[in-house]
Amino acid sequence: MTNIPESETALPETFDPQTQEGSKFDTVPVDWYKAQITDASVSQPQSGDGWGIHLSWQITEGEYEGRYVFQRITFIHSSIEATTIGRRQFKDLCVATGIDEQVTDVAVFKFNPCQIRVGIEQDKRGIYADKNRVSRVLQIDAPVKRVAKTAKAAKATQPSASAPSPTTAVSATAAPAAKSASNAVGDTSGANGNVPPWRKAKPSPSAALDDEITY
């Protein structure tokens, strides 16, 4: 039985933060999702310049079923470019939801199944956390190209065909080095194969330091 609060600020029961779970604001991955609008409203921005449409999309299938993502469409603005982009998005929304008559209330878009392309928006100033944004809206049966996560990961791990393997790289550098060393020593033998002691090549200091030392 719920207790009657003793004042306007008193809770009907005690709330213990240690036993409760907070909201999760992690983003859903970039991809196409089946979703529907559960809430739609029209309001002015803080600047008071124009009007915008706010849409709450709920994912209806897959791993992220039940999650919400949001979309804002500019309907009227002093910027002609912003208005043009917003009207195009509004047209796409009409096509995706099957609305072909004149629209006077955004409630007509609610609970019509669609496909939405969800991206991730980053705050360039680094103040706010990343958030999802809806960038495209299509009909529920429209063909879409989904993100191939496993294929991209496998491709990233495969070595490049043009890149030499470590063994090849070592062999390629070792061969010129050996040839250079041979040229440095030179062939000082005479016609009879005898080499005078004062003409014998001595090892360079670097070659002596490269010798393996047995402990």
Strands 31-43 and 51-59: antiparallel
Instruction: Count CB atoms within 10 A of the CB of residue 110.
Output: 14
- Overall pTM surpassing 0.75 (yes/no): no
Task: Tell me the three state secondary structure of residue 137.
Answer: strand
Domains in the chain: boundaries: 35-142
H-type alpha helices, 40-148: 80-97
pLDDT tens digits, one per residue of 96-137: 999 999 999 999 999 999 999 999 999 888 888 899 999 999
All residues at 6 or more sequence positions from 121 whose CB lies less than 8 Å from its CB, including other chains: 130, 131, 132, 133
What is the reported pLDDT for 2? 63
% of the chain surpassing 90 pLDDT: 53
The answer to whether 179 and 186 are in contact (CB under 8 A) is no
pLDDT tens digits, one per residue of 68-97: 999 999 999 999 999 999 999 999 999 999
